[in-house]
Amino acid sequence: MDFAFSPRVEELRRRVAAFMDEHVYPNERLAEQQVAASDDEHREPPIVTEIRARAKREGLWNFFMPDREWGQGLSNHEYAPLCEIMGRSPIGPRAFNCMAPDTGNMEILAEFGTREQHERWLKPCLEGKMRTCFSMTEPETAGSDPTQLQTRAVRDGDDYVINGHKWFTTGAMHAGFAIVMAVTDPAAPPHRRASQIIVPAGTPGFNIIRPVPVMGHTGGGGHCEIRYEDCRVPATNLLGKEGDGFAIAQARLGPGRIHHCMRTIGVAERALELACKRANTRFTHGSLLADKANIQEWIAESRIEIDATRLMVMHAAWKMDTAGKREARNEISMIKVMAANMVMRVLDRAIQVHGAMGVSDDTPIARFWRDSRALRIVDGPDEVHRMAIARRELRRWKD
Amino acid sequence: MDFAFSPRVEELRRRVAAFMDEHVYPNERLAEQQVAASDDEHREPPIVTEIRARAKREGLWNFFMPDREWGQGLSNHEYAPLCEIMGRSPIGPRAFNCMAPDTGNMEILAEFGTREQHERWLKPCLEGKMRTCFSMTEPETAGSDPTQLQTRAVRDGDDYVINGHKWFTTGAMHAGFAIVMAVTDPAAPPHRRASQIIVPAGTPGFNIIRPVPVMGHTGGGGHCEIRYEDCRVPATNLLGKEGDGFAIAQARLGPGRIHHCMRTIGVAERALELACKRANTRFTHGSLLADKANIQEWIAESRIEIDATRLMVMHAAWKMDTAGKREARNEISMIKVMAANMVMRVLDRAIQVHGAMGVSDDTPIARFWRDSRALRIVDGPDEVHRMAIARRELRRWKD
Amino acid sequence: MDFAFSPRVEELRRRVAAFMDEHVYPNERLAEQQVAASDDEHREPPIVTEIRARAKREGLWNFFMPDREWGQGLSNHEYAPLCEIMGRSPIGPRAFNCMAPDTGNMEILAEFGTREQHERWLKPCLEGKMRTCFSMTEPETAGSDPTQLQTRAVRDGDDYVINGHKWFTTGAMHAGFAIVMAVTDPAAPPHRRASQIIVPAGTPGFNIIRPVPVMGHTGGGGHCEIRYEDCRVPATNLLGKEGDGFAIAQARLGPGRIHHCMRTIGVAERALELACKRANTRFTHGSLLADKANIQEWIAESRIEIDATRLMVMHAAWKMDTAGKREARNEISMIKVMAANMVMRVLDRAIQVHGAMGVSDDTPIARFWRDSRALRIVDGPDEVHRMAIARRELRRWKD
Amino acid sequence: MDFAFSPRVEELRRRVAAFMDEHVYPNERLAEQQVAASDDEHREPPIVTEIRARAKREGLWNFFMPDREWGQGLSNHEYAPLCEIMGRSPIGPRAFNCMAPDTGNMEILAEFGTREQHERWLKPCLEGKMRTCFSMTEPETAGSDPTQLQTRAVRDGDDYVINGHKWFTTGAMHAGFAIVMAVTDPAAPPHRRASQIIVPAGTPGFNIIRPVPVMGHTGGGGHCEIRYEDCRVPATNLLGKEGDGFAIAQARLGPGRIHHCMRTIGVAERALELACKRANTRFTHGSLLADKANIQEWIAESRIEIDATRLMVMHAAWKMDTAGKREARNEISMIKVMAANMVMRVLDRAIQVHGAMGVSDDTPIARFWRDSRALRIVDGPDEVHRMAIARRELRRWKD
């Protein structure tokens, strides 16, 4: 048993943190202002483009990719502490080309894609020249229940013809392609019904209805509603084999959830730092906030909850690395629930410590709070993960 | 002991609810679209103007005003259930000219204003032709601690000259005037230092710096940052007497907090209704959400918490009506804390029941959730009210 | 709408509180010592017998009985505030002959009993000469699910012969009789299968196996496990008609639950009083506990939760009095859940304020905490009541 | 980073668990019955004596002692998983001679004792022939605030003469000696005022007033109130040097708290196991409890909270082992708070799953629930640890 990071990881942590200090945090406000001043809220602000170029030059790039051919060859438990640091800023993950949903898409392209797919879709993403989206969730059915998927892809000659209705296809507004989850064989067993197919952004029938307004915003890549209407793509755009859709989705979700959790811990650390700084300087009713026992309790509880969540995430990553994705399913469900709930509590306390400033956008806390709420829903709501965890536990105690 | 509403109140509840059904709920989306399509996010959308005209014609107007000379002569506990119904829609309170912060400002104008002030400032508000703002909170000091107020108003001949820095002056972007809280006698005892002064919107030195972005938005009347720079107004603009500032603020806050609480209960009821409708129709993992025990618990807890909060608010209103504002201080602090926390829990559950749709703006829930978070801070943060409640309780048990 | 108590109720509150101050609180410790020193932990300690005699003489007796023929003729909402005061001491309800489970049994005897049953069973109870128990819960089945009841009563000539296994028959160790819930017609619809039958304590086949140890104790009347083995009683011992069992149980539970809730509020008030007194005098880490913000929050939250629960209980009682037991079912379920959970939070905080003394039996808090935990289970667990509340709410929103 | 146990630890875990299965769990009820049937509730029941003899024979003994001279030489993070397994039964820690408060006392005797003290006091304890108590807490002052300590030890020739009032001296009823914390130099700086002195049980002036009734019980070693009245012991009974009292107390508390936390995790695991078994077999309202979403959530939350707490404890133990006791202070404070609160939630859910049986003593859950409540108070209440954690965190963010 050893809780220490390796020297390589320590060195990378130091470098990523220094880059954040120098280039990311100081430009958060500017990035926001550039978006606000732009006539296209979906366009990447120039300062972010600039930061990304610098990170790439410095080799602080594509840490998420475990495959040494494509990335840095870091295992999940080595990447996790870096991912946490990036997560401390809304523009952090993007700075290092480690932003969702692209990371997940790049991973499955690397793992399941053909050589041709690697060339055409994966490489531009790794080079930071193309963005992506993952088109799975449907408005009419519960995404966590795979048997309900309705979008259809019908083989027609050398093509697939896709029809269906999706939403929350995050990032579609500026994606080069979507990876679409569609039923290819309705008669197959539940987990073999669907496949994943690459749909280039300009394809006729790939109709973005709107970026669904989420927490008052439609900007960035958008959480898009899309109608696939006789959308025809070559059969070579199939990822893996027909019927592999759910297996690939699972392969995508494991690391994806861990990454989300690590970023979330970064968010919580940032919020706690800001809360402490505020408490150290705000005087009211006879003392600094830092000297009041209720504020102290919030800070202590936040520290405990953050540290506990980090250890759980590190453990899940380590188990995934040593025992495999499938064996680590329960650990991943646990951190999914734990991190998403933890961060909301920490952010809520940080808001309250800031008073009126806490609900304003003069700190990043209120934005983190709005954005993080979705984490209890995406990639499977709390309730579905808790059900899965409970069933495994209950099964242990059946005679 | 009798928990029943009077026949008059029952009749008004029926009429207000019918008006909401017919004119308010169906136009919520349109109002939002008109704002989005407008080139001025601070302007009232035309549909709201239209609804207000109709409500006024029908006599569904100014219910909040306890004074029969100016309003409907409803006591607080009679107005409360109407206020709840209006609170069910973001545009509800405005439809009936019962929106904060105008209601509070109209009340103090009625109670403390001179005949001339009534004519010039109160009447246009009551007629729905002018809006107002209340300029008290300062960025550098804790608003809940009156001894820290820094803005100064210095008597100069027949004028006051005001200098200071405010923010969260809600509604300033379209207000006809501000009521400003400023120190007129720094040497007076803590609660006699400040006065309230009416500052017309166009006055030189009344400099709106910006609507502070709050939860991603700057629209509507804005939560404005204002710099008062040698802002000169006639001394006749003083409300009440010099040094009355805190007393008037207290008089304003009592009913104001009750109104907020009642609206908040309306918000919670709306969210619970939407959650139930969703649960009744959404099928996942083998059953309707409505049939799952965890969802049922959320609904039951929400029902209990809403009903308990309503009774507490009704009781506080009744006590204010029968024993006076000062005697009801503790009850008002209690509902302030209770309602603001309750609504966040109910909204959070409603979001979760809706899944991805819950964080979208396709329902009003996410907006309510963003907007309601401030309620735990404005008009005194939870912590200050709890401190006050505790001190009174502790005092009871000192020998 | 009027939240004031009537003059009669105010007068009774004053008298009951004065009796508690003079005779009950000062003798709590003595009562415990007498039990500890006795060779029969099930026997009433002499001091309690003495207090009861005095209360009876002073006419502070049988307040619970709404029927003017048998009791004081107080409605539920008039009795509630008295019940709260009695609940403040473990020996309080008994002092005034208002202790569970006797109150519920007396009520149903009064309402459903024959004249003969009144003479033989009700009168001695009202006079304080006999105690009772209610034998419904069975170890093998969920008590909240009436379709699972297994104990059988078979008519045999002029008798019923009862066989079955019960537990948590509270008070059986010193009861003059049990009212037993047994299936008389297994083929009837679920809610007409059972009947209630009076079984005198000495009847052969009424076999008390043991007082089940509950929270480390077996004393007082005990929560008894009983085997009914060919237990034969005259058919005239039937309460009401055959098949009325569930209806009578429901009639018993409504007021019974309200009484429990009111006593529970008394428990919480007592705990809060003790916590405040402790906080006012205990000095640690530089200040009195009373001056620390976290302790203040506990006190404020306790005050809010107690007051909110009381209003909910008063409202439920009022609704039961004005609209009837059946109409008030939802309100009763709500207070059942709310009070039982509230008191545990208040007690938990009171323990913590007392430090080591809080887990000792040098205050009544730890005993209240142990005893109150069962309230979330008896008379229907939280989960069943929440399910019922949710179903009613969900039904409102079905088109 | 490596979360795996070493082969030696895995082997010991297997052996300890097997011993628990074979000898401890099956005899829990018998041990209780022997105490109940005994005329001395403070005497060790014979079955426990027997189990202890067997464990000693099998070498499953004194695992807690890190010093290889006296024990098994296991580090804290190696001992922790064994301690968890022992904690699963109320009689588990004792079976392996690893019970508080003896473990802590043996550790400080080993570390700070003279050779003579080792012979006379440590060895009999290690051999399981003598028990001990630690006499620090005083009724009049807050134990967590060392500056308030009042008990005095005055040097008189070759003796110390001790006067003072203690309580919650756990285990005094059957202890061979007490280690007493007393002020030897009132004028010294706060943390050098006190010393620790060994007082043999029979010493005149060592007056046990009573075992303070705690949660309804006075049995076992008792949480004793003691008056030291001119209690004279030889100066050679001083542990360490004069003024070392607080330093030794700190040295004692670090591992002591970790041990408590590990046992607590064992308690939680046991409760979760029992809850799952109950849920798997109890049928109500149309399904097994195991199939109800609310019960599933309790189980999932319990699993998450237990696993997170265990990782935090393992990490704290590892840090203590690698960086030292002092460096691990914050980690120890965090687990102290986390474990003590976690176990109460898990136990509470386990009670509720069991219904009426949950509050009975037919399972060990209710006893665990009563006994565990003190964990939020002993060794420093939650509030003091949270204050310490917060202060360290706040200090990080002071410029």
DSSP per residue over D98-123, as a string? --TTHHHHHHHHHHH--HHHIIIIIH
Mutating which of B41, B284, B344 best tests the A interface, going by the most A Cβ atoms within 10 A?
Answer: B284
- Chain C residues whose CB is inside 8 A of the A295 CB are 293
| C-alpha to C-alpha distance for C248 and C182, rounded to whole angstroms | 12
Statement: D7-113 belongs to CATH 1.10.540.10: yes
> Which tens digits make up the pLDDT trace of A124-163?
999 999 999 999 999 998 877 777 899 999 999 999 999 9
More confident residue, C257 or D152: D152
pLDDT of residue D363: 96
β-bridge pairing D238-239 and D223-234: unpaired
% of chain C surpassing 70 pLDDT? 100
Contact B148 A284 (CB under 8 A): yes
| C-alpha to C-alpha distance for B142 and C250, rounded to whole angstroms | 54
What's A279's DSSP letter? Answer: H
Query: Taking CA atoms, what residue in B is nearest to C334?
Result: B304
**What are B160's strand-pairing partners?**
B155, B233
Q: How confident is the model at residue C146 (pLDDT cuts 50, 70, 90)?
A: confident
pLDDT of residue D340: 98
What residue spans in chain C does CATH classification 2.40.110.10 cover?
132-239
> Which tens digits make up the pLDDT trace of B207-227?
999 999 999 999 999 999 999
Which chains are within 8 Å of D by 3+ CB pairs?
A, B, C
Cβ(A108)–Cβ(A248) under 8 Å?
yes
Cβ(B251)–Cβ(B185) under 8 Å?
no
> Which tens digits make up the pLDDT trace of A295-314?
999 999 999 999 999 999 99
- Chain B residues whose CB is inside 8 A of the C338 CB are 304, 308
Q: How many CB atoms lie within 10 A of CB C268?
A: 29
Candidates B296, B311, B390; nearest CB to C386: B296
Mean pLDDT of chain A: 96
| Predicted confidence (pLDDT) at residue B46 exceeds the cutoff of 80 | yes
D window 77-116, beta carbon within 8 A of A: 77
| C-alpha to C-alpha distance for B33 and B29, rounded to whole angstroms | 6
Q: How many CB atoms lie within 10 A of CB C202?
A: 8
| Predicted confidence (pLDDT) at residue D25 exceeds the cutoff of 80 | yes
pLDDT of residue C253: 84
Give Cα separations from B177 to B125, B131, B136, D69, D219 (angstroms). Answer: 10, 7, 14, 83, 74
β-bridge pairing B177-183 and B132-135: parallel
What's D227's DSSP letter? Answer: E
Contact B359 A384 (CB under 8 A): no
Note whether C393 contacts B: Cβ–Cβ < 8 A.
Answer: yes
Tokens of A257: 């959830």
Tokens of C354: 């007392």
What residue spans in chain A does CATH classification 1.20.140.10 cover?
246-396
% of chain B surpassing 70 pLDDT? 100
| C-alpha to C-alpha distance for C277 and D334, rounded to whole angstroms | 30
Mutating which of C82, C304, C349, C376 best tests the B interface, going by the most B Cβ atoms within 10 A?
Answer: C304
pLDDT of residue A254: 82
pLDDT of residue D254: 81
Report how far Cα A294 is from the mean position of its chain's Cα atoms.
33
Distance from CA of B33 to the nearest CA of A (A): 12
Candidates C215, C359, C381; nearest CB to D366: C215
Helices (H) and strands (E) in chain A, counts: 14, 10
The one-letter code for the residue type at C370 is R
Residues 6+ apart with CB under 8 A from D325: D250, D251, D254, D255
pLDDT of residue D58: 97
What's A43's DSSP letter? Answer: S
Candidates D142, D212, D351; nearest CB to C282: D142
Angle at C355 between CA C349 and CA C361, to 5 degrees: 90
Q: Which helix (H) or strand (E) covers residue D278, if one does?
A: helix D245-281
Tokens of C109: 């005897």
Note whether B282 contacts D: Cβ–Cβ < 8 A.
Answer: no
State residue B92 phi and psi, 5-degree precision: -65, -55
> Which tens digits make up the pLDDT trace of A54-89?
999 999 999 999 888 888 999 999 999 999 999 999
| Predicted confidence (pLDDT) at residue B304 exceeds the cutoff of 90 | yes
Give B378-381 contacts, CB < 8 A, sequence gap 24+: B378/A356, B378/B168, B378/B260, B379/B253, B379/B256, B379/B257, B379/B260, B379/B336, B380/B143, B380/B144, B380/B253, B380/B333, B380/B336, B381/A352, B381/A355, B381/B144
| Predicted confidence (pLDDT) at residue A253 exceeds the cutoff of 90 | no
Q: What's the mean pLDDT in C199-219?
A: 96
What are the DSSP E strand ranges found in chain A?
132-135, 152-156, 159-170, 177-183, 194-200, 206-211, 223-234, 238-239, 283-284, 287-288
Q: How confident is the model at residue D253 (pLDDT cuts 50, 70, 90)?
A: confident
D101 upstream amide cis, omega within 30 of 0: yes
Q: What's the mean pLDDT in B360-368?
A: 97
Note whether C291 contacts A: Cβ–Cβ < 8 A.
Answer: no
State residue B224 phi and psi, 5-degree precision: -90, 145
Q: Which helix (H) or strand (E) covers residue C80, if one does?
A: helix C76-86
The one-letter code for the residue type at C371 is D
Query: Taking CA atoms, what residue in C is nearest to D381?
Result: C355
Tokens of C103: 């109150």
Tokens of D30: 């018998």
| Predicted confidence (pLDDT) at residue D157 exceeds the cutoff of 80 | yes
Contact A297 C295 (CB under 8 A): no
CB burial string D36-57: b at 16+ within 10 A, e below:
eeeeeebbbbebbeebbeebbe
The one-letter code for the residue type at A243 is G
pLDDT of residue A255: 84
- Chain A residues whose CB is inside 8 A of the C295 CB are 293
The one-letter code for the residue type at A388 is A
% of chain D surpassing 90 pLDDT? 92
| C-alpha to C-alpha distance for C320 and C327, rounded to whole angstroms | 7
Distance from CA of D174 to the nearest CA of B (A): 41
pLDDT of residue B343: 98
> Which tens digits make up the pLDDT trace of D263-320?
999 999 999 999 999 999 999 999 999 999 999 999 999 999 999 999 999 999 999 9
| Predicted confidence (pLDDT) at residue C399 exceeds the cutoff of 80 | no
| C-alpha to C-alpha distance for A334 and A312, rounded to whole angstroms | 8
| Predicted confidence (pLDDT) at residue C10 exceeds the cutoff of 80 | yes
Q: How confident is the model at residue D343 (pLDDT cuts 50, 70, 90)?
A: very high
Sign of CA dihedral A65, A69, A75, A79: negative
- Chain D residues whose CB is inside 8 A of the C389 CB are none
A window 165-204, beta carbon within 8 A of B: 167-168
Note whether C396 contacts B: Cβ–Cβ < 8 A.
Answer: yes
C window 316-355, beta carbon within 8 A of D: 351-352, 355
**What are A198's strand-pairing partners?**
A179
Distance from CA of A357 to the nearest CA of D (A): 19
Collapsing DSSP to helix, strand or coil, A226 comes out as strand
Distance from CA of B361 to the nearest CA of A (A): 5
> Which tens digits make up the pLDDT trace of B22-33?
999 999 999 999
Cβ(B305)–Cβ(B313) under 8 Å?
no
Give Cα separations from B341 to A179, A245, B271, B373, C272 (angstroms). Answer: 41, 43, 14, 9, 22
Contact D223 C139 (CB under 8 A): no
| Predicted confidence (pLDDT) at residue D144 exceeds the cutoff of 80 | no
Tokens of C159: 């008798």
- Chain A residues whose CB is inside 8 A of the C297 CB are 294
Q: What's the mean pLDDT in C8-30?
A: 97
Cβ(B55)–Cβ(B63) under 8 Å?
no
**What are C182's strand-pairing partners?**
C195
| C-alpha to C-alpha distance for D132 and D179, rounded to whole angstroms | 8
> Which tens digits make up the pLDDT trace of A313-333?
999 999 999 999 999 999 999
Please give the interface size between C and D, counted as residue pairs whose CB atoms are below 8 Å apart. Answer: 123
Give Cα separations from A248 to A238, A260, A370, B164 (angstroms). Answer: 12, 18, 30, 61
pTM of the model: 0.97
Q: How confident is the model at residue C142 (pLDDT cuts 50, 70, 90)?
A: confident
More confident residue, C312 or D143: C312
Give Cα separations from C35 to C26, C32, C38, C55, C217 (angstroms). Answer: 16, 5, 5, 21, 12
What are the DSSP E strand ranges found in D172-329?
177-183, 194-200, 206-211, 223-234, 238-239, 283-284, 287-288
Which chains are within 8 Å of C by 3+ CB pairs?
A, B, D
pLDDT of residue A144: 73
Helices (H) and strands (E) in chain C, counts: 14, 10
Sign of CA dihedral A236, A242, A247, A249: positive
**What are B284's strand-pairing partners?**
B287
Residues 6+ apart with CB under 8 A from A317: A75, A76, A77, A79, A80, A258
Note whether A13 contacts D: Cβ–Cβ < 8 A.
Answer: no
What's A212's DSSP letter? Answer: P
> Which tens digits make up the pLDDT trace of C147-185?
789 999 999 999 999 999 999 999 999 999 999 999 999
Topology adopted by domain D246-396: Butyryl-CoA Dehydrogenase, subunit A; domain 3 (1.20.140)
Residues 6+ apart with CB under 8 A from D373: C351, C359, C369, D215, D344
Statement: A132-239 belongs to CATH 2.40.110.10: yes
